Amino acid sequence: MSSPVIFPFKSNIDLDKNSSRHLYLQLCDQLIGFIKSGKLAPSTKLPGSRKLSEDLKIHRKTVIAAYDELISQGWIESIPAKGTFVNHNLPIINPKKLANSNKPVSSKNISGFDFKKRKNLFIKGIETIQASLKVDEGVPDHRLAPIEDIARNYRNITNKKHYQELLTYGDTHGNFDLRKALVSYLNKTRGLKITTDNILITRGSQMGIYLASELLLDDQKIIVTGNTNYMTADNTFIEANGIIKQVSVDQHGINTMEIEKICKKNKISAVYVTSHHHHPTTVTLSAERRMHLLNLAQENNFAIIEDDYDYDFHYRNAPILPLASNDTKGNVIYIGGFTKIIAPALRIGYFIAAKDVIDEAARLRRIIDRQGDTLLEQTLARMIINGDVQRHSNKVRKIYKERRDLFCGLLREKLVDFFDFETPNGGMAVWVRLKQPYNWDVVMAEALKLNVAFNPEWRRYDNNNLGHNGIRIGFAALNKEEIITVINTLETVMKSIR
């Protein structure tokens, strides 16, 4: 244990006396770097503290502090009467292999191990596109989020000592006060008949879709969806190892007669439905088909995953009650949340089902996410009870209705020669089909030149190549000026490619 000190410490160590990082820690960092890169091998003798302090022109105490720190971290060791050495137990590193490895870890692009890559999940999101105006597929306007109400309610909770218990681990099913508040909120607004045993709080609707898929779709089990369908849900079903069978969607929603036909030939495990406003086409599932679907589920013992993602936004009349309100035999898993009413970043949703399903879903959720954000859940419970949520929902519904009317009015006035669409009864988007012979890829490329971006993954909605040429254009997150810009841009583009 006495390799000679041949490493040129003096010329390799560069300490910055003006840095806010203490000198002894800078020295530690650099010595650790030499050890990690193999430049200082195990058992290498380090210079004595007097010599190193003279070479580096720093106080000897600084070197001693650095050596003490490195000894306590196990990088070096001090051997009485012999000196200070790089720890002999460290693995030997070949410095040649690491010749270029002084780059920080974060600059690595490729991992040093294999892992499962899911091609299906590789989606080019609009977030990655540079444009001054991005037109989404129908999300709420986060600029309208009731941030002051959230902050006030949150502060009131964190100021109270008895809420301190919320800071420890809690029930995976979710904050009990929120579940209680949701029982009365959902029973009143959705006509459900549930108790707190029927609720699992999730991080948003997507977690509910994921949990339902994992519970229902093992081993090539069949799930029926509409053609076309919410892309992320389809991806979730495929990842859960399910087989998707598609049925057509018309102005009355998904075709339940086709589901009945499938049932005669195959055992199906689930039907996924966005009954209030079908995603992406926005149509509402008719009363007749609702009853038909529920009867089929009961007769054939399958689950209905009812994703009621935009229940609160219906503009023509009162919202249609969900299938779950007529579910007497526990066939429906009802999924919804507050990401659309309040803001996408407020990750609180609910998963409503029979107790046995809830308990199993909670066990599954526990291994992905031990529990939700209890303080935020308590805040939301308070906002439901004191009426903040309902007030905000009424306010934004009015604004979104005005935006829908403006958007659809201008589209009809200026672009009817190029597009087919129906004014949606609710939701946050319009399903806009481009007439032949135009193509969205061309339109989008031209619009981008004018700094307006649309969803680049629109083709994924046409997974059976039906040629519907449709995209969802979200109006809810666009204010008046932005809606006018979008329409004017489309008008300029269409006239230029005509």
Closer CB to ligand PLP, residue 149 or residue 307? 307
- Do 389 and 342 touch, CB atoms closer than 8 A? yes
Name the residue number minimizing CB distance to ligand PLP: 204
In the complex, the smallest distance separating the C-beta of residue 313 from ligand PLP, rounded to whole angstroms, is 12
- Residue 17: left if φ>0, alpha if ψ -120 to 50, beta else—which one? alpha
Q: Which of residues 454-473 bind ligand PLP (CB under 6 A)?
A: none
Is 372 a binding residue for ligand PLP by CB under 6 A? The answer is no
Residue with smaller CB distance to ligand PLP, 26 or 282: 282
Residue 208 contacts residue 229 (beta carbons within 8 Å): no
Helix (H, G, I), strand (E, B) or coil at 229: coil
Q: What is the closest distance, in whole angstroms, from the C-beta atom of residue 208 to ligand PLP in the complex?
A: 8
Nearest distance from C-beta of residue 107 to ligand PLP, angstroms:
32
Phi–psi pair at 54, nearest 5 degrees: -70, -45
Figure out which of the listed residues 45, 173, 279, 382 binds ligand PLP, where binding follows CB under 6 A: 279
Judged by CB under 6 A, does residue 307 bind ligand PLP?
A: yes
> Is 230 a binder of ligand PLP (CB under 6 A)?
yes
Position 339 contacts ligand PLP (CB under 6 A):
yes
CB of 84 to ligand PLP, least distance (A): 56
Helices (H) and strands (E) in the chain, counts: 15, 16
Which of 327, 330, 353 is CA-nearest to residue 198? 353
Using CB under 6 A as the criterion, what x/- string covers residues 340-369 for binding ligand PLP?
Answer: ----x----x--------------------
**Candidates 91-99, 201-209, 419-427, 460-468 — which segment interacts with ligand PLP by CB under 6 A?**
201-209
Bridge-based pairing of strands 452-453 and 303-307 is unpaired
What minimum distance in Å lies between the beta carbon of 274 and ligand PLP?
5
Residue appearing with tokens 């087989």:
243
Helix/strand/coil for 77 = strand
Of how many residues is the chain composed?
498
Q: How many binding residues for ligand PLP (CB under 6 A)?
A: 12
H runs (alpha helix) in 274-321: 287-300
Choose between 307 and 388: whose C-beta lies nearer to ligand PLP. 307
Strand order in the sheet with 470-474: 419-420, 429-434, 470-474
- Give pairs for 263-266: CB < 8 Å, separation 24+: 263/296, 263/299, 263/300, 263/302, 266/222
Question: Quick check: 418 binds ligand PLP (CB under 6 A)?
Answer: no
Nearer Cβ to ligand PLP (269/339): 339
Per rule CB under 6 A, is residue 280 in the interface with ligand PLP? no
DSSP states of 344-409: TTS--EEEE--HHHHHHHHHHHHTT-S---HHHHHHHHHHHHTTHHHHHHHHHHHHHHHHHHHHHH
Residue (139 or 385) nearer to ligand PLP, CB: 139
Q: Rounded to an integer, what distance in angstroms lies between the CA atom of residue 214 and that of residue 230?
A: 18
Contact window for ligand PLP (CB under 6 A) among 57-65, 155-163, 337-345, 417-425: 337-345
206 binds ligand PLP (CB under 6 A): yes
Shortest CB 488 distance to ligand PLP, Å = 27
Q: How far is CA 35 from CA 24, 146, 362, 380, in A?
A: 16, 53, 47, 51
DSSP E strand stretches across 18-72: 45-46
- Per the CB < 8 A criterion, the answer to whether 35 and 9 are in contact is no
Q: Is 393 in the site for ligand PLP (CB under 6 A)?
A: no
* Position 309 contacts ligand PLP (CB under 6 A): yes
Out of 44, 256, 269, 274, name the contact with ligand PLP by CB under 6 A.
274
Among 172, 175, 205, 227, binds ligand PLP (CB under 6 A): 205
Of 80-88, 101-109, 203-211, 391-399: span binding ligand PLP (CB under 6 A)? 203-211
CA distance 430 to 168: 44
Closer to ligand PLP at the Cβ: 47 or 337? 337
Residues at the contact surface with ligand PLP, assessed by CB under 6 A: 204-206, 230, 274, 279, 307, 309, 337, 339, 344, 349
